[in-house]
Structure 1
């Protein structure tokens, strides 16, 4: 019948089970949806909701002996579940292609990127090698990789994260698929690179007319790219509709909880102090309204942390004898203060020096120059025993809580260990304090005998926060401590940090690239670029009146959870972040700052 569209992908009553202890355990149950020609459908939900398992089932990429797929999957008119392995290999590439979250694990490190893309062309299309090389260069140019011809022979490690993801998109497009499945393709990327990749996918979709199944937990991304949205919760599709309807009239309590937890850039306009995140009960949809954090910062007192002209560089060696050929200027001559009860956020993209700053302050990395004063200690001048005492005053919470915890140690022992090691009490005292701290971070004392693998990601991060509090520190360096968490868990952990700050008068150095979260939790913000602070000031001044071009670029790249903005393209340049590697004879230009308002400083361009 004229005018009736047939779906490129049709999924009916999909149930996927895994073999666990001899029994089949369903992890995706009775999921049905269609993706029409040229349409973008978003599968959204948090970790464990079944999004990725759904996509891997569609592509038949799950281990045969450990998984069972039931229902019906029709892809470009083909019954996917009835195809042989050989036939399925032809479907992957021609009919559907997939890009994953971490491109470095998807690319072979020992082959050039040109060879890997060419292989997709020669295997699927029987294309002669010279033609495959020309087509590969055309694809690399299409995904906006600069100097594509000269980069054909380069290897994955020579590309940045954003450029590697572009390579993966080029490879996926090689056989002109009807459907592109994008599984969290921007989660591991910085905000400006994420913006570039989203714009690129939109542009390529328009040019190629392909359909996209976009899998993510980022509701800002969903609003920007999708026509329709399917919300998944505990293996089931609990809501399905146009993206506008889902955002404006979401009915399921989980949908409302997911949307309520999303920090919206600009929502803090007119709000002077940090603001807790609203929390929604996923069972009932009941919402707790956000509460402002009272200001306890007294800037008349001496700062708890003073950083003056901090510089950290790493040697670059080369040649037969490993001679020093240059240096990575990771942190270059930065200065700031931090007061008790205050949150100062360091923001910027990967490689800008945020984490190195945090580690240099705590002397986990030895700085090359500068002065750090912390709670009366001259940090850079301390010997090993004094350094150990100093670390009672400052603790770090890292991005990956699982890597931060010893898998062979119970969480009770992990939280108690600093107290015992610093001789601040007996083992019994340490156990009692550990139980109290676990309760303080929203866990139960009877969880002390469990091991890290028995907890969710959000719970493990709470355990790391409890351990950081064990020594009663005055400063906590939170290094991307919520970046790896799902949106609702992120809101809960941020609320916990703000509550602890209020009750214990803690100072936070909050390191993050998530601008919407930073706007919510900060008193002041420092923007870093290539190891230098280019703008610093009160949160409302930096977000409400950004002055440095790089600050403006960061803010412009943040996805906004508003489906009405779906057609907007940011027109971000595809430039990579410049390299911080400098030759040995490099002379750092003298920097000067202009004061825009009270405490709001912006770096001026050096004189020519």
Structure 2
């Protein structure tokens, strides 16, 4: 019989409040064997992160109560002294978190932070620690590792910062690595590289991994065993192949059904609704095959026409702050969107897709090109002239909490655009706010609450209510569902599809999630380094991709099928090339060739010859 490296028995975690202790984790038990990966999957509030923090003894003793047994390598961690736990933490159990930028010290170089861990835990000299830091950075495949030692965290991409965190976690050769949502905020290609890296390092070191996520595709890629949590309890626990092949609990079945799968839209010409999950019961409540969208009429004039759009940001240096270079964030981008159509703009962070969206709604002024809204070029309009056009153009951001004023009640947030544009008599505003809240699936009685009193999904519904309050023709949704759990993501997207059907809305859907994009879009434009490298109908982009970059994005999407985890080729480690150009740089003329009706692909050079 195999002895477990980590054994958790009847773990209960409660948080102390004014009304006594509120339990959040209930009688959780599981084992992790040496060299194996166990995934805990569940949505926000399921208790999965609290479980990992309890194992690490990182919950404040004054506010949290931990009961049960946590045995690691034969020791009961719940009875260890603080000094004893410090010896375990970092040396034998390491942890990496979702957001590396908040875990790394922004005022210290990468090399110094890595060296600090080595000096503290291994008593190395500064010289030895720096040499070992380079070796560790090489190990996690950070290009030009020695040159990166003096870089600060903000100079690295999200994927490279996460590699630094993994290097730091592995510096003491732990027996167990706890990874808490380490890929959630990353682009699909970077996520694939991080998963490959963790797998390779685990193989080399014989390390165990506790992987915490809400992404079932990631679970299928990496886990030997899977634990499904709901409301602080384990509802299913078994081999990953068994969980995916024959799920027993209704919540597990609903979670798997809600996962978008590449290729599932073959033969379907319009977007589909996602399957929703009742968070109280964990049971699916909407059938995924229900079609809600219409096919846009190609004969109608476009709502939006973008021609040769460019956006550059000046880089100033020296005492006189002269322009020494420019960031070419968007370069000669062109596309149309018609009434009732969703065009998805996809690509990795830094490709220029969000800048394109912000330029279209004039939150940043374009450097060149045309943006025609219902035939009128809004780039040439001054702020006063453009004011009336803002009613027809609205933007939904990724983080609704940051875009809602925390000091205003949600009813006031929704009413503000209508009052600013004087589109409705003041006496009718309150009734209209109630109508909008009802339209996005919220109780009108909640209009007097503040944003912090709502969940993330509810706040995004409030943002949508505010966006549609002026009766827009086009909505730019900038990563509007990227930060949401699978069930909340399904609800918000289904709401957007319903509004599109009822109001004839056109959407520019900006995202890096290719599986979601396939489900919701009519057409797709793929961006790389500020340029569109491929654009066409959804079926063409997903069924017959032509550009190497498009193929790379699609190959990186995790497949929610454990049997196919070895079929994806390992991606080369690379960062998006720098968009910084000299002041006198003139962009080369790019040719987009039509390979089939409506499907255009940019010619590519030698840099893509090796994939």
What TM-score results when the alignment is normalised by the length of structure 2? 0.97
Distance of aligned partners of 1:568 and 1:98 in 2 relative to their CA distance in 1, 3 Å threshold: farther
Of 282, 285, 289, the match for 2:283: 285
More displaced 10-residue stretch of structure 1: 370-379 or 477-486: 370-379
Aligned length: 605
In structure 2, distance between residues paired with 1:606 and 1:31: 54
Structure 1 position 570, deviation (Å): 2.6
Structure 1 position 320, deviation (Å): 2.4
- Give SS of 2:30's match: strand
Kept in 2, the 8 Å contact 1:50–1:234? The answer is yes
Map 1:61-76 onto structure 2 (within 5 A): 61-76=58-73
Structure 1 position 292, deviation (Å): 2.1
Of 128, 131, 142, the match for 1:145: 142
In structure 1, distance between residues paired with 2:203 and 2:605: 42
In structure 1, distance between residues paired with 2:570 and 2:164: 20
Kept in 1, the 8 Å contact 2:218–2:560? The answer is yes
In structure 1, distance between residues paired with 2:121 and 2:447: 54
Residue equivalent to 1:261:
258
Q: Does 1:385 align with 2:384?
A: yes
More displaced 10-residue stretch of structure 1: 129-138 or 171-180: 129-138
In structure 2, distance between residues paired with 1:292 and 1:78: 55
Kept in 2, the 8 Å contact 1:332–1:532? The answer is yes
- Give SS of 1:391's match: helix
Q: Does 1:330 align with 2:329?
A: yes
CA deviation digits over 1:196-223, x for unaligned, max 9? Answer: 0000000000000000000000000000
Structure 1 position 281, deviation (Å): 4.2
- Give SS of 1:181's match: strand
- Give SS of 2:482's match: coil
More displaced 10-residue stretch of structure 1: 208-217 or 13-22: 13-22
Kept in 1, the 8 Å contact 2:270–2:295? The answer is no
Kept in 2, the 8 Å contact 1:345–1:518? The answer is yes
Structure 1 position 531, deviation (Å): 0.5
CA deviation digits over 1:418-477, x for unaligned, max 9? Answer: 111111122231211111111111111111111111111111101100110000001011
Residue equivalent to 2:423:
424
Kept in 2, the 8 Å contact 1:482–1:490? The answer is yes
- Give SS of 1:558's match: coil
Q: Does 1:33 align with 2:30?
A: yes
Of 221, 224, 229, the match for 1:227: 224
Residue equivalent to 1:194:
191
In structure 2, distance between residues paired with 1:284 and 1:70: 26
Residue equivalent to 2:125:
128
Residue equivalent to 2:318:
319
Structure 1 position 285, deviation (Å): 3.3
Residue equivalent to 1:13:
10
Structure 1 position 128, deviation (Å): 2.9
Map 1:96-107 onto structure 2 (within 5 A): 96-107=93-104
Residue equivalent to 1:216:
213
Kept in 2, the 8 Å contact 1:111–1:155? The answer is yes
Kept in 1, the 8 Å contact 2:188–2:556? The answer is yes
Structure 1 position 569, deviation (Å): 5.0
More displaced 10-residue stretch of structure 1: 372-381 or 330-339: 372-381
In structure 2, distance between residues paired with 1:268 and 1:322: 52
Q: Does 1:168 align with 2:165?
A: yes
Residue equivalent to 2:360:
361
In structure 1, distance between residues paired with 2:539 and 2:581: 35
Residue equivalent to 2:401:
402
- Give SS of 1:370's match: strand
Residue equivalent to 1:438:
437
In structure 2, distance between residues paired with 1:347 and 1:284: 31
CA deviation digits over 1:121-169, x for unaligned, max 9? Answer: 2211222333222222111111001111222222212211101100100
Structure 1 position 388, deviation (Å): 1.2
Kept in 1, the 8 Å contact 2:559–2:565? The answer is no
Kept in 2, the 8 Å contact 1:199–1:569? The answer is no
What TM-score results when the alignment is normalised by the length of structure 1? 0.97
Aligned-CA RMSD value: 1.4
More displaced 10-residue stretch of structure 1: 127-136 or 311-320: 127-136
Kept in 2, the 8 Å contact 1:316–1:326? The answer is yes
Structure 1 position 233, deviation (Å): 0.7
- Give SS of 2:89's match: helix
CA deviation digits over 1:310-347, x for unaligned, max 9? Answer: 11110111122221110000110111111000000000
Kept in 2, the 8 Å contact 1:413–1:431? The answer is no
Kept in 1, the 8 Å contact 2:293–2:497? The answer is no
Kept in 1, the 8 Å contact 2:556–2:568? The answer is no
In structure 1, distance between residues paired with 2:238 and 2:590: 53
In structure 1, distance between residues paired with 2:417 and 2:394: 11
Kept in 2, the 8 Å contact 1:398–1:404? The answer is yes
Structure 1 position 375, deviation (Å): 2.1
Structure 1 position 607, deviation (Å): 10
In structure 2, distance between residues paired with 1:568 and 1:96: 31
Kept in 1, the 8 Å contact 2:272–2:293? The answer is no
Kept in 1, the 8 Å contact 2:547–2:604? The answer is no
Residue equivalent to 1:548:
547
Structure 1 position 509, deviation (Å): 0.5
In structure 2, distance between residues paired with 1:587 and 1:385: 33
Map 1:564-575 onto structure 2 (within 5 A): 564-575=563-574
Distance of aligned partners of 1:606 and 1:590 in 2 relative to their CA distance in 1, 3 Å threshold: farther
More displaced 10-residue stretch of structure 1: 290-299 or 439-448: 290-299
CA deviation digits over 1:61-84, x for unaligned, max 9? Answer: 112211111111111222111111
- Give SS of 2:166's match: helix
Structure 1 position 279, deviation (Å): 2.7
CA deviation digits over 1:205-244, x for unaligned, max 9? Answer: 0000000000000000000000001111111111111111
- Give SS of 1:333's match: strand
Q: Does 1:487 align with 2:486?
A: yes
In structure 1, distance between residues paired with 2:588 and 2:498: 42
Residue equivalent to 1:46:
43
| Unaligned residue ranges in structure 1 (runs of 5+) | none
In structure 2, distance between residues paired with 1:501 and 1:403: 25
Residue equivalent to 2:456:
457
Kept in 2, the 8 Å contact 1:232–1:238? The answer is yes
Distance of aligned partners of 1:509 and 1:588 in 2 relative to their CA distance in 1, 3 Å threshold: same
Map 1:293-308 onto structure 2 (within 5 A): 293-308=292-307
In structure 2, distance between residues paired with 1:378 and 1:147: 46
